[in-house]
Amino acid sequence: MPLTTQETIRAILTDVLGLSVDQVAAMDDHTELFGALPELDSMAVAGLLTEMEDRLGIIIDDDDVDGDMFATLGSLVAFAHTKVSG
């Protein structure tokens, strides 16, 4: 069964940031990401964006990217949803 957008985003956070599966599983929509996770620095954002494009089959315009998008898990998944549904 294909992963949902939410599951894909969680898998990308595990893979790119090297977070443990348990840590990512314990996150909810309100969990803060950018500024709260030391692993998520501005350079890691570049890797996250490319993985999101590859795994979700979307194209992300770099002009769309701002800090708010990575504020929480919920905001990141919401952004991905708008791209996936097109």
Near another protein in 66-85, by CB under 8 A: none
* From 2, 18, 57, 86, residue interacting with another protein (rule: CB under 8 A): 18
Q: Which is nearer to another protein, 28 or 62 (CB)?
A: 62
Report the C-alpha gap between 63 and 37 in whole angstroms.
Answer: 23
Neighbouring residues of 81: CB distance < 8 A, sequence distance ≥ 6:
5
Piece of the chain touching another protein by CB under 8 A; list 2-10, 23-31, 48-56, 67-75: 48-56
Structure-token match 């620095």, residue found = 41
Is residue 32 helix, strand or coil?
strand
- Residues near another protein (CB under 8 A) are 14-18, 39, 41-47, 49-51, 53-54, 62
